[in-house]
Amino acid sequence: MKSPYAKTVGYELLHAARLHRARSAQLLGELGLFPGQEQVLTLLVDEDGRTMSDLAAQLRVRPPTASKTIARLAAHGLVERRASGGDARVVRVGLTEEGRKRAESVYALWEALEQEAVSDLDAKDRKRLRKLLRKLGRNVSVNLRGRAVEQEAEDELPEE
């Protein structure tokens, strides 16, 4: 007999997310990256020379975790640490040329994964799925972060 949980949205969402993450890890491995490292590279494309604390905040990880990730990327020649001009205690992280190339490969990987994931959905279904996932995320985040319910109402206001 199938578990009642197997018939829930949560089950299907978790199952799809796990499969997506596994496929992403497989593709990232082909680029010589581990999950999470691609986020650092793309953050640095957006703004090179970020501080360690900024990277940790953007990645939503603790500073020691961000530091380990940067150390691994630096060991592979993808990023470099630079002392800040005004304050030697502040370390900024920048992309190397190889890191920039790898980040471009990450964007191509994300596009390919997106195409795989939604290959049998038409444009209308894709748009509807994105909208439903945003709603689901907002519903969960209200309890997770204690966000005000009013924020959800503001999100639903029509654009002018």
Gap between the Cα atoms of 152 and 50, Å rounded = 32
Instruction: Provide the pLDDT for residue 61.
Output: 94
Both 76 and 147 in one domain: the answer is no
Q: What is the CATH number of the domain that holds 97?
A: 1.10.10.10
Total number of domains in the chain: 2
Q: Over the stretch 67-119, which tens digit does the pLDDT of each residue have?
A: 999 999 999 999 999 887 777 778 899 999 999 999 999 999 999 999 999 99
Both 75 and 141 in one domain: the answer is no
Q: Tokens in use for 94?
A: 């920048």
E-only strand ranges, 41-90 = 50-51, 79-83
Phi-psi region of 36 (alpha: psi -120 to 50; beta: other; left: phi over 0): left
Both 106 and 127 in one domain: the answer is no
Q: Over the stretch 44-75, which tens digit does the pLDDT of each residue have?
A: 999 999 999 999 999 999 999 999 999 999 99
Both 18 and 78 in one domain: the answer is yes
Both 71 and 129 in one domain: the answer is no
Q: Over the stretch 10-50, which tens digit does the pLDDT of each residue have?
A: 999 999 999 999 999 999 999 999 999 999 999 999 999 99
CA 42 from chain center: how many Å?
A: 9
Both 136 and 105 in one domain: the answer is no
Gap between the Cα atoms of 9 and 12, Å rounded = 5
Both 113 and 127 in one domain: the answer is no
Instruction: Provide the pLDDT for residue 145.
Output: 64
What's the predicted TM-score (pTM) here? 0.77
Range of the domain at 18: 4-117
User: Reading across the β-sheet that carries 79-83, which strands appear in turn?
Assistant: 50-51, 91-95, 79-83
Both 68 and 133 in one domain: the answer is no
* Higher per-residue confidence, 148 vs 145: 145
Both 74 and 127 in one domain: the answer is no
Both 58 and 40 in one domain: the answer is yes
Both 35 and 87 in one domain: the answer is yes
Instruction: Provide the pLDDT for residue 87.
Output: 73
Both 108 and 127 in one domain: the answer is no
